[in-house]
Amino acid sequence: MSTSAWIMGGVLLASLGAEVAWAQAQGATGGIYTCVDKNGRRLTADRPIPECLDREQRELSPSGITRRQIGPSLTEHERTAQEAQRRKEAEERARVVEERRRERVLVARYPDKATHDVERAAAIQLVDDVTSTAEKRVEELKAERKKFDVELEFYKKDPTKAPMVLRRRIAENDDSMGEQQRFIAGQDQEKRRVHARFDTELAQLRKLWDAQRLPAAATSSSESTTAPAASR
């Protein structure tokens, strides 16, 4: 055999050895899967184990360290239920975050009861002002109706002979009076709603104010306890 043939053979053997070593290295980095099946048997494989699809499997590194936990695999119905539960939990977390934000805004707006009472009074006064305007309009309509009634005296024996214009004005006056009275009644309901809203806020604020005072009281108590000890 010539020298060149020996050299070529050596190169091929070296290349083959490198490929084998590379393949072994790739295999060494692969995971090892292990689980305990429904019969209590410990199973091990180099890929996810079909017998344990309904239970948890562990993927281990070649050194035996757990890389991750897998499964169990879920049915379509189970996945749907799980996703619904996740959405529900996410919505609940978002609700709690939003509630805490609103509480912070509420306490910042009303740091004490006096501030809250002032705003309640202002809201009620606004309703009273609107109601007062409607009541003034009612008085105007009553005065207007008295004039119409005076004119109608001429036709009290036969009201049907009253001029159409007069009868139309009386009808319009009655409609306007009814509208204003309904509006005033609505404002009474609005005042009750305003009071109910502020009552609900006040009940919530009392709890928030108390919660703020507790840490402050605890800090004050701790400082008063440590002060004598420091003096000694």
Place of tokens 């809203």: 197
Question: Which pLDDT belongs to residue 224?
Answer: 58
Minimum mean pLDDT among 17-21, 95-99, 185-189: which range? 17-21
Does residue 67 sit in helix, strand or coil?
strand
**Do 54 and 73 meet the contact criterion of CB atoms below 8 Å apart?**
yes
Backbone angles phi, psi at 148, to 5 degrees: -65, -40
Q: Is 59 exposed, middle or buried (0-12, 13-18, 19+ CB in 10 A)?
A: middle
DSSP-derived letter for residue 32 is E
Q: Are 82 and 67 in contact (CB under 8 A)?
A: no
User: pLDDT confidence of 73, banded at 50, 70, 90?
Assistant: confident
pLDDT at 232 over 50: no
Q: Which residue has the higher pLDDT, 161 or 204?
A: 204
Contacts for 109-114 with beta carbons within 8 Å, 24 or more apart?
110/201, 110/205, 112/209, 113/202, 113/205
pLDDT of residue 113: 96
For residue 41, is it left (φ>0), alpha (ψ between -120 and 50) or beta?
beta
Determine the longest span between alpha carbons in the chain, in angstroms. Answer: 149
Question: At residue 22, does pLDDT exceed 70?
Answer: no
Highest mean pLDDT (candidates 68-77, 117-126, 207-216): 117-126
- The alpha carbon of residue 125 and the mean position of all alpha carbons in its chain are separated, in whole angstroms, by 33
72 prior amide bond cis, ω within 30: yes
Q: What are the tens digits of pLDDT across the range 100-127?
A: 999 999 999 999 999 999 999 999 999 9
Cα separation of 59 and 32, whole Å? 5
Identify the residue whose tokens are 């429904």.
Answer: 38
The encoded tokens of residue 159 equal 């009201």
Segment 121-146 shows an average pLDDT of: 96
pLDDT at residue 197 above 90? yes
Q: Are 116 and 205 in contact (CB under 8 A)?
A: yes
9-18, 22-31, 146-155: which range is least confident on average?
9-18
State the average pLDDT over residues 205-211: 95
Query: What local confidence, expressed as pLDDT, does residue 7 receive?
Result: 45
35-44, 199-208, 209-218: lowest mean pLDDT where? 209-218
φ, ψ of residue 35 to 5 degrees: the values are -165, 170
Q: Which long-range contacts (CB under 8 A, 24 or more apart) does 165-170 make?
A: 170/145
Mean pLDDT of 196-214: 94
pLDDT tops 60 at residue 84:
yes
Q: What is the DSSP letter of 56?
A: -
What number is the average pLDDT over the span 8-26? 40
Between the alpha carbon of residue 63 and those of residues 17, 43, 59, 142, the distances in Å are 25, 17, 11, 98
Range from 2-16, 41-55, 126-140 that averages highest in pLDDT: 126-140
Instruction: Say what the pLDDT of residue 217 is.
Output: 59
- What is the arrangement of strands in the sheet containing 66-70, beginning at the earlier edge strand? 42-45, 32-36, 57-60, 66-70
> Which tokens go with 63?
């050194």
